[in-house]
Amino acid sequence: MKQEELQAIASQLKHPSGEKGIEMANMMNETNINMTHHSIQNLNISSSNKILELGHGNAGHVEFLLEQAKDLKYYGLEMSDLMFQEARQINRNFVSQKQAFFSLYDGNLIPFQDSFFDKIFTVNTLYFWQKPEELLSEIYRVLKPNGTFCLTFAEESFMKTLPFTQFEFELYSTEKAQNLIERTSFKIVYKETLTEKVKSKTGELVNRDYTTIVLEK
Ligand SMILES: C[S@@+](CC[C@H](N)C(=O)[O-])C[C@H]1O[C@@H](n2cnc3c(N)ncnc32)[C@H](O)[C@@H]1O
């Protein structure tokens, strides 16, 4: 594949847009659904929780999340206008029932008051954070005391085998993510690395290592 094509894939993963963006978002939701469900399950969601997700893509998993307990409220934040629109469309029933709320933000400042959320999670976005320490501090700020944050990402050892990650991506091993977290006020309460088989861009099955780190305020 040409360098420009690899760069285009990386840009779409970082910020889905245009005609190709919707296609890419469907593919992402499907390929990453295990990682997303795993992150949600590690949140230990209980009734009436307010839950924030950063970088939901098309948010095809919101129904699964809302089934975890009663009276949940889901809040999604995105930087891509296309994903914001697509997520609202796919989840229009939950939006009209005021169970799901979607907003755009700048990737740095989380537009909610202090201690607003019981649970926060994000899947496959860490690679694109512009100021990782500052964003973690923002996540800490909007989380309630004893609240849980799940950070889920594919391991650097796997990601660096994908040719497009040379563009746009900052790759993380568990150790590198832990070093980042240790520079914030979060406590690490649990971490797990799993391996799953996923279909590569060229169609064959490959082993993907991914990690969820569970943090507490
Ligand atoms: C690779 S996709 C992952 C989507 C979905 N979470 C998944 O795992 O399939 C990354 C998504 O995060 C969004 N994004 C990138 N940087 C972000 C940030 N700093 N905060 C929130 N979302 C971000 C992008 O617009 C894109 O929709």
Ligand 1 centre from 203 Cα, in Å?
Answer: 23
Ligand 1: which atom is nearest the Cα of residue 55? 22
Instruction: Indicate whether residue 21 lines ligand 1 (CB < 6 A).
Output: no
Give tens-digit pLDDT for 6-62. Answer: 999 999 999 999 989 999 899 899 999 999 999 999 999 999 999 999 999 999 999
- CB neighbour class for 73 (10 Å; exposed up to 12, middle 13-18, buried from 19): middle
Taking a C-beta distance cutoff of 8 angstroms, is the pair 125, 55 a contact?
yes
Q: Which of 64, 128, 180 to mutate to test the pocket of ligand 1 (most atoms within 8 A of CB)?
A: 128
Give mean pLDDT, residues 80-84.
97
DSSP-derived secondary structure letter, 202: T
Taking a C-beta distance cutoff of 8 angstroms, is the pair 53, 112 a contact?
no
- For the cut 70, the answer to whether the pLDDT of residue 201 exceeds it is no
Give mean pLDDT, residues 109-120.
98
Question: Residue of the nearest CA to atom 27 in ligand 1?
Answer: 57
Ligand 1 centre from 13 Cα, in Å?
Answer: 7
112 is written with which tokens?
Answer: 């909610």
Size (the chain), residues:
217
pTM of the model: 0.97
Question: What strands, in cross-sheet order, belong to the sheet with 50-54?
Answer: 100-104, 73-78, 50-54, 117-123, 143-154, 205-216, 187-199
pLDDT confidence tier of residue 203, bands split at 50, 70 and 90: confident
Ligand 1 centre from 201 Cα, in Å?
Answer: 19
DSSP-derived secondary structure letter, 17: -
Instruction: Indicate whether residue 120 lines ligand 1 (CB < 6 A).
Output: no
In the chain, DSSP finds a helix count (H) and a strand count (E) of 9, 7
pLDDT confidence tier of residue 202, bands split at 50, 70 and 90: low
Instruction: With CA atoms as reference, report the closest residue to 76 among 24, 127, 23, 25.
Output: 25
